[in-house]
Structure 1
Amino acid sequence: METTFKNKVAIVTGGSSGIGKATALAFAEKGAKVAVVDWLENNETVNLIKGMGEDAIFIKCDVSKSTDVKAMVAKTISTFGGLDYACNNACSDGMSALTQDSTEENWDKTIGIDLKGIRLCMKYEIPEILKQGKGVIVNCSSGAGLVGHSGLPVDTHSKQDIVGLTKTAALECSKLGIRVNAVCPGVIQTPMIDQLTRTSEEAVEQFTGLKPIDRFGLPEEIANAVIWMCSDEASFVTGLAMAVDGGFIAQ
């Protein structure tokens, strides 16, 4: 079955780089009009999409702020006339620390962007998708959303709550025509990971050594999962938290 999103509209938060960029491009490759959303002005993804002959806009938005998210969705609707799909991918680069050493500042920032941000996005996306009659939301969690991670209490908290929030929204929307799923990436070769590992071969070996497939994942591999979740091929799939992580062995 060939997936096409011609004349459909997608929002991708965190769309300027990494998984978000790859997902925005993947939607465009299938014919969708894409609202590329990020907190810093960056038109690279939009320009790439327009270079493909497809339509896209950039929207600057801090997903932790209700007024920004409401305006982001409104701008998408006023530009493209509707909303069919959303990939809520924006996340923070929270600091690692033991539970007793985690700072309140890091906690508030991570929860605000990762968890509150997804809640706010769904708050304003769901009513607009309902107007279309059906649609799909994919929230980006992580491998930490499925298992515990020593030294990452804040990230684990936020990512596991994203999974719970996704499953709850899936139940609420199941009879309304909206499917809601979560993708849980492992360690993916993104600018954020590059920044953590570029000076340390030991860090690279530590990350890749965790998985039977001993390499970093690619942003495009996560984007493929998102596109599948949004496609009719996954028409009976909702409330799923899908690990795409190279075979993570749970504790």
Structure 2
Amino acid sequence: MAKRGLAVAPSGRPGRGRLYVNLPDGRAVAWYDRKANRISVLADERREEILTALRPYLTGTVAIGPPPVPTAADLRRLALRPDDDLAPNRPGEDLLGELTHGSAGTRARHRLRQELAARERIGEVLDGLSESEEWRVLHSLGGITDHLVIGPPGVFCIRAVPGRRQRAVVGELLLTVGRAEPRPDPRACRRAAAYATRALSATVTPVLAVADASRVEVAPTLRDVRVLTPPTLTPFLTAAPTTLKPPDVEALFAAARDWTTWL
């Protein structure tokens, strides 16, 4: 927090990307680009307040001045209300709320904890990928998908499921883990990617990520949904051919992090 009503908020995961200095109503008056070590000021009359707010985060010699000509992604980010920004969401954010404040019974809570552990496991892998400036990752998109990844190879809609250290069998429509009842995860993953394709006006690849299974078997007829595990997730994404340029990645990320995109 900062003096005189200004607040500092990260553009994504804490410790990375830009830091925005916002008015109480959420409008940005400046941002600090840590990679370029530069402060872009939108309200010059508040320059001293902005410097005071950002001082704990600054390192080395910092340039300060008016912003460069904003891209469409910059303009969308600057207009984004904090309550509509999905970028700060943690993996399994919705499940954390249910476990903390919900009234589910013992069995249901055990299932929720397994689901949360799977989302956190996959989220940890994806957050490692997002250390690269080429990639953008979102978690917990309001019940639409568990994770959304945007990078040079395109957009990937990822549904995380717990393998529970048992054999997982994935068919075209159903996933079976051990002796449990089959689940419609492949269908749900496919629907989420189709929804994201419409919302973002971009091709979105469905991915089913099975966490901590003893073995994963995939039906040879399943071709439109990629089935991956934590060790194979990053190699698959980074080895895929490039289809998006950096401005395209930023534009899609700006749209995807805005909750109103998904309404």
Larger radius of gyration between Structure 1 and Structure 2: 2
| Structure (1 or 2) with the greater helix fraction | 1
| Structure (1 or 2) with the greater strand fraction | 2
Greater relative contact order structure (CA < 8 Å, 6+ sep): 1
TM-score by length of 2: 0.32
TM-score by length of 1: 0.33
